[in-house]
Amino acid sequence: MAMPAQHRQAIVRAAVALFRKKGFAATGLAEILERSGAPKGSLYHYFPGGKAELGEAAVRQAGATVTHTLSRLRDEAPGAAELIRRYVDLLAMWMKKSNWRDGCPIVTTLLETAHDLAPVAAAGREALADWAEVLAAALGSEGVDPARARRLARFAISALEGALVQAKVERDEAALLEARDELAALMADTVRAAKP
């Protein structure tokens, strides 16, 4: 079975989009295949483990996309506080544009499956760790002690995950902007305190 690798990619992309919008359990494999435009048979060719394997690939792919965005912002922003500001402004814009349907691309799948599908949970852990690492590195390059940087970075991930939930439920960006301002202030204070 020689199938172009782009079919695999199209299937994963479709899975990411549908899991994000509807959740893992509510999304059918037929729906994913249809949205992907890949030929019948390619789904089980690339994902013999079925939906669980696709869940893992989707979390991994979506996690990498977020890491890439954060890393790009880190290169552009003059510091951790501004990185957070720019990232949350993007999140708020994306949420609004999706009419408050989207949100974190992995959280719904993770909450639904983390306990029962160990490979999906592992992909989620790696994604969360990668995101925190980008934020921690930004704080570290401003002189914040590594352990403190890591804790604050992980706290920021928690706050942003929760703010995305609130924004979705409230159909309003307020929770995101509040989290943005609190986190940016906390990071600026931490950087200031770290200055020799």
Smallest distance, a copy of itself to C-beta of residue 123, A: 10
Torsion of CA 36, 39, 44, 47, to 10 degrees: -40
Token representation of residue 171: 């159909």
Closer CB to a copy of itself, 9 or 126, in the complex = 126
Smallest distance, a copy of itself to C-beta of residue 25, A: 4
Smallest distance, a copy of itself to C-beta of residue 171, A: 8
Closer CB to a copy of itself, 141 or 158, in the complex = 158
Rounded CA-CA distance 62/92 in Å is: 18
Closer CB to a copy of itself, 9 or 112, in the complex = 112
Smallest distance, a copy of itself to C-beta of residue 108, A: 4
| CB contact at 8 A, 134 and 70 | yes
* Residue from 15, 13, 23, 16 nearest 168 by CA: 23
Closer CB to a copy of itself, 100 or 130, in the complex = 100
Q: Is 40 helix (H, G, I), strand (E, B) or coil?
A: coil
Closer CB to a copy of itself, 24 or 87, in the complex = 24
- Amino acid letter for position 169: V
Closer CB to a copy of itself, 27 or 42, in the complex = 27
| CB contact at 8 A, 167 and 103 | yes
Residues that bind a copy of itself (CB under 8 A): 21-26, 99-101, 103, 107-108, 110-112, 114-115, 121, 124-125, 128, 151-152, 154-155, 157-163, 165-166, 168-171, 174-175, 178-179, 181-182, 186
Q: How many CB atoms neighbour CB 51 within 10 A?
A: 21
Smallest distance, a copy of itself to C-beta of residue 107, A: 6
| CB contact at 8 A, 157 and 128 | yes
Smallest distance, a copy of itself to C-beta of residue 195, A: 19
| CB contact at 8 A, 102 and 23 | no
Rounded CA-CA distance 62/29 in Å is: 18
